[in-house]
Structure 1
Amino acid sequence: MKMWPQSEPLITKLFPQKHDSLIYRQHTEITGDKGTINRSGRPKATTESENTFLRVNSLRDRRLTGQHMQVSVSTVKRRLRAAGLTGRVAVRKQNKKTRLAWDMKHRQL
């Protein structure tokens, strides 16, 4: 009786493994669907329209904090960061002086 080598079992010869991109390409050729394939995992807590609402509200009222929104603070932070809105200290005379002093100190290094 002949034994198959350990590196090449019979199951791999009968059913060759396929790469994900090949499977996706075959799926799109068969179905004609160019959309994304449904994936498992936890769904997003907010929809695209809610994300837009968060972004617009934070731009309208700069003093609005994440605690004033209807979703968790961490969700608000992630959505605003994804929209390109990162937190900065408001420009006031004292803050401007402090920033310039920090900049001058670190430029000399």
Structure 2
Amino acid sequence: MTSTITRCERCDLPTGQCPHTRRRVVVRAEPDLILVSRTNTAHLPGACHHDAPPDYRGWGEIRGVPRAWERLGNAEPIAATGGDNPSRVADKRCRHCASSY
């Protein structure tokens, strides 16, 4: 049985081994601050404005929790670490914030 190697049309190297076909992995920096709304939804500051009060009274904040935004995207609840209401627990990401991040 013969395997067929896909090659780059520009330089004839095997696909993935040349700069023309190599895929780049985008690694984003984790947000420094995640806001937790009264509905326990995680928001990124400035990413959406559909539900944000001007003073964030009653909201929590998540700071210093490793990979918190990523973990929220995997449906892992994350407890607030501060803010006006540090007893909040984010259990989902805002879809508007997630799409703009």
State TM-score, norm by structure 1: 0.22
Structure possessing the higher radius of gyration over alpha carbons: 1
How high is the TM-score relative to the length of structure 2? 0.23
Question: Which structure features the higher share of strand residues?
Answer: 2
